[in-house]
Structures are given as C-alpha cells and as structure tokens.
Structure 1
Amino acid sequence: MLQGQPTHTLDSLCVSARKQDIIKVTEQLIESINNGDFEAYAKICDPGLTSFEPEALGNLVEGHDFHRFYFDNALSKGNKPVHTILLNPHVHLIGEDAACIAYIRLTQYMDASGMPRTMQSEETRVWHRRDGKWLNIHFHRSGAPSVPIKSVTVMMIEAIIIMTRHI
C-alpha cells in the first residue's frame, strides 16, 4: 500500500452507505412534510416520536397528534411549491441500529404576495432501525417554524389595503 493513499475497507464503505441511508430517509421525511403527506410522515416516524420545536413553545411534544394538526390545517392547504435543502448533514452512527443526524434546513417557498422567501432552521434527528426500517424517534428544531409565517411587511401591507378599502 502506498503511503498517503486513501484506504477503503469493506467496513468504511459499509459505514458510508449507512450514513447515506440516514441522509436519504431524512430527505424522505422532509419531502413528506413539504408535500403535506401525513400518511408518509407517519410511516417514517415512530408513534412515540418526541420533539422540541418552535411551534411547541419550548415544550416536549410526544406522538403524532401535535404534528397532525399542522398537516391537516396548514401543510396540506398550500398548493405553492416548497423546496428544501439540507446543508452540511453530519451523521453519527450509534451502533448498528441507531443514528443521529444534524443539519441546517433551508426551505424555499412563495409567500402570500408571490415573492420567493427562504427560512432556515437547525435540526437534529435521532433514528432507530426496527425490523430493517429506519424510524425517526426524536428531533430538535431551532429557528423558523416549519410552516411559513407571513412577514411583518406583508401583514402591514395587507392591513393598509384593508383599511383603505373602508375609507
């Protein structure tokens, strides 16, 4: 073997493939959110999923009910395109059947006035493999809520328009 040349063992290739599996299943989960597809989301998430997220106002949420509300009332209503990019995903393998991924999530969307917008959040997800299938068992999201919120400027413009109609 030449000194300074990369060595690829079967173990390192297996580790790399497992890390790619975690990135792929995370992308599938985010896609189910973008598409407002609760059924796909529920298949990827453990029924006892726990989370800390901006929408929960600092509280630990358990189960799917909290998230179903957003799918039923916000995510499934949006017909506008949403595109998400996972930046710098870093995967920690924790044994054969557990992994943790941390990344920056950029979400691009069109706001109510038709202007393109981008939101950023910082996310960590914990995955557990059961019966050969990866399930998200916990996540922590900081930053922007997953449902786009109107900007203050857009809300002010809408308020001015409404007020001028009544003059």
Structure 2
Amino acid sequence: MVVLLRSRAVLREGAGGGGKRIVLKPKSDLLPLLSTAAKSLLNKKSDGVKPQSNNKTSIVSTAKETPSVQTSMEPQTTVVHNATDGIKGSTESCNTTTEDEDLKVRKQEIIKITEQLIEAINNGDFEAYTKICDPGLTSFEPEALGNLVEGMDFHKFYFENLLSKNSKPIHTTILNPHVHVIGEDAACIAYIRLTQYIDGQGRPRTTQSEETRVWHRRDGKWLNVHYHCSGAPAAPLQ
C-alpha cells in the first residue's frame, strides 16, 4: 500500500510539472515491490500476534497452576480433625486458647482418677473403691457373664474373697486413654488395660481388656457411674 501511494504522488507531481514528462514503470515492474511489501506486512502482523498468543498461554498456565496451589493447601485443613479429641478452640491449632488449656486439665483429671480407681482394685482396697464409684454404679463385665450389674455388692465379693487376700504384686498399664469431655460435669474415658500378675504356680501372666468408664462430677468430686469391660476378666482369677 505504501508503494501505491507513492506512485500516485508521482503522477500528481507530473501533472503540474510545467511540461516535464514523467515516465512511469510498467505495472509489471511494481509487482515484485508489492509482493515484497505484502510479505513484510504479513511478517509484521505475525510478529505482532505472537506476543498475544504468549500472553494467552501464560494466563492459561497460571489458571492451571492456581487449582494446584489450592489443592496443596487442602491437607492443611486436616489439622481441624484434632477437634475429634473434644477441643472446641480455634481452627488455628498453633494458637493455644484458654479454653483448650482448661479442657486438657479436665482430661488429665479423668485419666488421673481412673488410675486411682484401678490402683484401689489392685490393692484390694474396697473402701477407696467405693469413694470413687457411685453407689448405683452400673457395669457390663466378663464376670457378670453379659448381664448388667447395678450397685456395689457384686464387686464387693471379689474384693473380700480375692483381691484383699492377694499378696502377690499386680501391675496395670493403661494404654492409649481417650477422653471425651461432655459438658462441665460429665466425661467418658476409653482405654486398653494390661494387667500383669503372678498365677498360682508362680508364673507371670498378662491379661488384656478393653474398658470404658463414664464419670460424673457431683459437688466437685468425680464419680464412676458406668463401667464396660470386654476381654479377659479384670481381676486375676487364676
């Protein structure tokens, strides 16, 4: 197009040139120039399109990378699953709140009182046992043969005829205690209990039971109101 405009300018100049004759080249001579100019224009257009295509590609690649970043961050939300322990604090687990600390203290109280109860059983101390348990304690345990037992008389039999007369050492290990705090005055603890003792032939034995205890606080004192035991008898009967 630039060549055509220049050729027209030559024609106009020749028209008012005071009798001068201007000889123009045949159109066939202009074809190579037109072809060259057209190619140069096409090349410039193609060069101008490339950056746009690159920009589009970069935008698309960025859009593809964004979901990957979000996906990599998703596993961080799994930290909220710590709330299954009963913690109702902030989702930012790094920040310890006062509520979290109070909850931890109460959980430790439940674990500690459970240890004291089992220690009373191992020592055959029925009086200490009754101070920790509710008088209407209900329980499912192997000694009851699948029946629901209520009250303290059933347990008293084993204290008087077995546990209090045992002179051999008994050692108990509580494995993986898990505490559910239910409001201000109730809690539940589940754990695995390993009991080591010496049998009648002087051989060391170990029994395992899976236990759950429900605790209720009355007048500032925790009492065991329900007990469930699966597995071997809690008391070493051999």
For 1:37 and 1:58, the matched residues in 2 are separated by 25
TM-score by length of 1: 0.86
Residue 29 of structure 1 pairs with residue 117 of structure 2: yes
Match of 1:48 among 136, 149, 158: 136
Residue 143 of structure 1 pairs with residue 234 of structure 2: no
Identity of aligned residues (%): 73
Q: 1:7 Cα shift?
A: 1.4
Q: Report the secondary structure of 1:77's partner residue.
A: coil
Q: Relative to 1, partners in 2 of residues 1:11 and 1:63: Cα closer, same or farther, differing over 3 Å? A: same
For 1:85 and 1:114, the matched residues in 2 are separated by 21
Which letter maps to 2:233?
A: P
Instruction: Give the equivalent residue in structure 2 for 1:115.
Output: 203
Detail structure 1 runs of 4+ shifted over 4 Å in the superposition: none
Instruction: Give the equivalent residue in structure 2 for 1:78.
Output: 166
Instruction: Give the equivalent residue in structure 1 for 2:193.
Output: 105
Q: Report the secondary structure of 2:225's partner residue.
A: strand
Paired residues, number: 147
Instruction: Give the equivalent residue in structure 1 for 2:127.
Output: 39
Q: 1:5 Cα shift?
A: 6.9
Instruction: Give the equivalent residue in structure 2 for 1:157.
Output: none
RMSD (Å), alpha carbons: 1.0
Which letter maps to 1:65?
A: D
For 1:75 and 1:92, the matched residues in 2 are separated by 30
Q: 1:149 Cα shift?
A: 3.2
Instruction: Give the equivalent residue in structure 1 for 2:103.
Output: 15
Instruction: Give the equivalent residue in structure 1 for 2:220.
Output: 132
Mark the runs of 5 or more structure 2 residues left unpaired by the alignment.
1-91
Instruction: Give the equivalent residue in structure 1 for 2:58.
Output: none
Q: 1:112 Cα shift?
A: 1.3
| Higher RCO structure (Cα 8 Å, ≥6 apart) | 1
Instruction: Give the equivalent residue in structure 1 for 2:35.
Output: none
**Per residue, is there more strand in 1 or in 2?**
1
For 2:128 and 2:236, the matched residues in 1 are separated by 21
Q: 1:148 Cα shift?
A: 1.6
TM-score by length of 2: 0.61
Mark the runs of 5 or more structure 1 residues left unpaired by the alignment.
151-167
Query: Which has the greater radius of gyration?
Result: 2
